[in-house]
Structure 1
Amino acid sequence: MEEDRPLPDPNRPPWWHPDRHAARRDALRSRSRIARAVRAFFEADGFVEVDTPALQVSPGMEPHLHAFATELVGANPDDRLRLHLHTSPEFAMKKLLVAGEPRIFQLAHVFRNAERSGTHSPEFTMLEWYRAGAGYADLMEDCVALVRAAAGAAGRRTFLWRGQPCDPFLDWEVLSVEDAFRRHAGIDLLATAPDPTAPDAALLAREAERVGIAPHPGDTWEDLFFRISLERVEPRLGMVRPTFLADYPVSMAALSRPKPDDPRLAERFELYICGLELANAFGELTDAAVQRARFEADMALRERIYGERYPVDEDFLAALELGMPDSAGIALGFDRLVMLCTGTEAIDDVLWAPVAMPGRGAGA
């Protein structure tokens, strides 16, 4: 569940203290075994492991993610370029699809500022992979086989995380966002979006209030969507068996394409296990003009909320214009996968060297 528990006691010994390391050793050894199993899984299916730079002009365009910024200085000190640490290797990996690599994966260190909790670290490992000539249903099959392989590498038949059980060897559930809101929140979500590209915040606010979730002044439709999902939907996903939450409203398509048979929806799913969000997948959008319009809308929203914008990766849009093949891609939180496979509740306990936090000391 995304309602995270507090961070561990800051007065406990630092991560490098032998006693604390001894308590984490089994989970860390499992992490290494799981990483080997992941690489073996992809290599057996003809994937190539790639390694793209963390420094990028654009860190990612999600309105609510916060990036770390730095400055690249050339041989001439006047040659300076503002760069960011990427929040995902997505743009660079999609350029490799355009370049002609049909199946690629990466275990990448990624960086997100202003994120720290029991399941969030400012630096963490993202497992990301792309299949040319595939759809998001193919990625569901990948997830089933991959998670089962990871569980096997850790010696687990079932997951038990924060008291919630889940058996990845059962048949997995595919649940549409529309059905999830109707089942768990009693809300007809699509009825609040008569214009699918511009859903009506007032309509969703009335529905939220009807089911006992108080709207806040200035709430957008997206704000309300996430609050309802957090309170009523996500905590019920991935119990007993894993759940693919699929077919998001097209206004939340991000970098995914609309469904051909229902343009109100996007080819997107998220994977939940024990109420924990594990992965986010897209049938990839390949239209550069549509993608530019989405980027501009996302940055307008970011500026309105946070007073800042990130630059568009023009090189990425040029790659789309040249022609990215029909493809599907997914980002999976590798550290969270290790947490599930080891029953570990805090992300710091599956990181070999957790990032220090202000006020907690260099060894926190």
Structure 2
Amino acid sequence: MADERVQAANEQDINELLKVRRAKLAELQEKGKDPFKIMKYDVTNHSADITEDYDNFEGKTVSVAGRIMTKRIMGKASFCNIRDLKGDIQIYVRKDEIGEESYTEFKKYDIGDIVGVQGEVFKTHTGEISIKAKNIVLLSKSLQILPEKYHGLKDTDLRYRQRYVDLIVNPEVKDTFIKRSLIIREIRNYLDSRNFIEVETPVLVPTAGGAAARPFSTHHNALDQDLYLRISLELYLKRLIVGGLERVYEIGRVFRNEGLSVRHNPEFTLLELYQAYTDYYGMMDLVEDLFRTVAQKVCGTTKITYGGEVIDLSKPFERLTMVEAIKKYANIDFDQIKDEASAKALAKEHNIEFEDRHKRGDIINLFFEKYVEEHLVQPTFIMDHPVEISPLASRKPDNPDFTERFELFITRREMANAFSELNDPLDQRKRFEAQEALRAAGDEEANETDEDFLTALEYGMPPTGGIGIGIDRFVMLLTDSAAIRDVLLFPTMKRLD
């Protein structure tokens, strides 16, 4: 009961403060000084421009704008700190400089208000770089109270729901999303410099293919047709390879109707690229160089720290087949397990759950997930996946039970998935038929047959290498972020009502 009374009292106090803020706004409006009527303010510099290059700014007049984060009123002179895109800077406000009326108004400003300041750059006697205000104007009135004044913005659920407040009070969050933008920019620069063409493909599709995932469905009224939100970019990009665009890529949103976790959000950003006349070895070389180059450009180093572990992107990435990796970490040799019955017997022996529909290749993958993934901290290419779990990859010519496919693992997470793309339309039809059988057996993530894609392959697709990279996981890696929601500005959340 005592805690409830304290909470009720705090809520009453907050409500009173909110009323005061609205009263201040009403007073300004009555005086014809409505801050929401100010449409423009000329900003000449940001805070960091000044603080990082003080020698060139000392004594100069600048105009800055930002949100008041702290405020100290001291008679005829006061201080406040404002926060803009690049950081914080102190403002020194004297009644003699800005005039009595403006100073009286300034004293009524609240934490969270947005102001424009014109003034002279100097250092206080304590050595803090500041701006001596010659003019200060209220540009926007904050009618809410910044949360850390009472309890801090530590509640992760609230941070994700009110990202705008999170960005205001937690500067490191802003830094993460600025870095995200830089990462995507450097990916584009890398691919553009290698003659890849950036394209856009449909988000609403009649058949959701290219990945093992359950799609979101919708209905187009005018066409009276069911459609899906894409789960992958793959099949349309391959159509462009058929059409003669030899190097293509897309960075776009994809949607998968799956659960939420620290690694999964139903809506996420995917990079897919396809290059004609190369194979999955060419894709390995490309993705290794891409990761190394982007890390160097954005972080200034190829040795990054994630979760307290140093990840070295400068060394050649290790390459292991899936069978070799299981042998290395579980001491089980699937080269000696030749048939489905033996594989299932081995799974039972190791308490690995499987379904009746699973084949030998599925069992191999289950062993990999249980025994290998937890060891893959440093960059490692896991190659040559079983054909059962790779419906769009070319078979290995010398071992058709496996495919020319790899996944890149870093920090125990899959970061990229790539193939020597299957360009045989007859084999692809058989793979689709096998996927359809899985769907009929209840696997909602199995691929549907895409007849138009099969038609495209029948016109002829050259040997092609392709790769998909989860942008969000890449950003997590380079920003040392523990959860995917930390790198999504507006992650999917359950409604509160």
* Paired residue type of 1:46: N
The equivalent residue for 1:66 is 214
1:324 aligns with 2:461: yes
Q: Which has the larger displacement, 40-49 or 219-228?
A: 219-228
How far apart are the structure 1 equivalents of 2:446 and 2:381?
A: 32
Contact residue 61 and residue 298 of structure 1 kept, 8 A: no
1:40 aligns with 2:189: yes
How far apart are the structure 1 equivalents of 2:419 and 2:160?
A: 41
The equivalent residue for 1:80 is 224
Identity of counterpart residues, as a percentage?
35
Pair 118,13 (structure 1): closer, same or farther in 2 beyond 3 Å: closer
How far apart are the structure 2 equivalents of 1:140 and 1:152?
A: 18
Q: CA deviation at 1:205?
A: 2.8
Contact residue 409 and residue 416 of structure 2 kept, 8 A: yes
Q: Which has the higher contact order (CA 8 A, sep 6+)?
A: 1
* Paired residue type of 1:19: D
The equivalent residue for 1:166 is 311
Q: CA deviation at 1:343?
A: 0.7
Secondary structure of 1:277 counterpart: strand
- What pairs up with 1:1-364 in 2 under 5 angstroms? 9-10=156-157, 14-19=161-166, 22=170, 23-60=172-209, 62=211, 64-74=212-222, 79-155=223-299, 156-194=301-339, 200=340, 202-210=341-349, 212-215=350-353, 218=356, 220-221=358-359, 224-237=363-376, 239=377, 241-306=378-443, 311-356=448-493, 358-359=494-495
Pair 214,51 (structure 1): closer, same or farther in 2 beyond 3 Å: closer
How far apart are the structure 1 equivalents of 2:306 and 2:411?
A: 6
CA root-mean-square deviation: 2.2
* Paired residue type of 2:418: A
Pair 360,154 (structure 1): closer, same or farther in 2 beyond 3 Å: farther
TM-score by length of 2: 0.64
How far apart are the structure 2 equivalents of 1:41 and 1:86?
A: 26
Stretches of structure 1 that go unaligned for 5 or more consecutive residues are 1-7, 195-199
Stretches of structure 2 that go unaligned for 5 or more consecutive residues are 1-154
Q: CA deviation at 1:214?
A: 3.9
Contact residue 213 and residue 444 of structure 2 kept, 8 A: no
**Of the two, which has the highest radius of gyration?**
2
Contact residue 432 and residue 447 of structure 2 kept, 8 A: no
How far apart are the structure 2 equivalents of 1:24 and 1:338?
A: 13
TM-score by length of 1: 0.86
Secondary structure of 2:466 counterpart: strand
Q: CA deviation at 1:30?
A: 0.7
Q: CA deviation at 1:20?
A: 5.3
Q: CA deviation at 1:162?
A: 3.4
Q: CA deviation at 1:216?
A: 5.1
Pair 227,266 (structure 1): closer, same or farther in 2 beyond 3 Å: closer
Q: Over residues 167-198 of structure 1, what are the superposed CA-to-partner deviations in whole Å (9 max), with x where a residue is unaligned?
A: 1111111101110111112222243344xxxx
The equivalent residue for 2:69 is none
Contact residue 213 and residue 228 of structure 1 kept, 8 A: no
Secondary structure of 1:95 counterpart: helix
Secondary structure of 1:285 counterpart: coil
Secondary structure of 1:154 counterpart: helix
Contact residue 213 and residue 446 of structure 2 kept, 8 A: no
How far apart are the structure 1 equivalents of 2:386 and 2:490?
A: 39
How far apart are the structure 2 equivalents of 1:11 and 1:319?
A: 48
Q: CA deviation at 1:262?
A: 2.6
* Paired residue type of 1:317: L
Instruction: Give the ranges of 4+ consecutive aligned residues of structure 1 lying more than 6 Å apart after TM superposition.
Output: 307-310
Pair 13,97 (structure 1): closer, same or farther in 2 beyond 3 Å: closer
Q: CA deviation at 1:55?
A: 1.0
* Paired residue type of 1:59: A
Pair 213,15 (structure 1): closer, same or farther in 2 beyond 3 Å: farther
Secondary structure of 2:207 counterpart: coil
Contact residue 115 and residue 121 of structure 1 kept, 8 A: yes
Contact residue 380 and residue 410 of structure 2 kept, 8 A: yes
Aligned residues: 339
Q: CA deviation at 1:224?
A: 3.6
Contact residue 348 and residue 354 of structure 1 kept, 8 A: yes
Q: Over residues 4-43 of structure 1, what are the superposed CA-to-partner deviations in whole Å (9 max), with x where a residue is unaligned?
A: xxxx853556242423563421111110111110011011
Q: Which has the larger displacement, 119-128 or 244-253?
A: 244-253
How far apart are the structure 1 equivalents of 2:351 and 2:458?
A: 43
* Paired residue type of 1:72: H
Pair 360,149 (structure 1): closer, same or farther in 2 beyond 3 Å: farther
Pair 102,310 (structure 1): closer, same or farther in 2 beyond 3 Å: closer
Q: Over residues 323-342 of structure 1, what are the superposed CA-to-partner deviations in whole Å (9 max), with x where a residue is unaligned?
A: 11111101110110010011
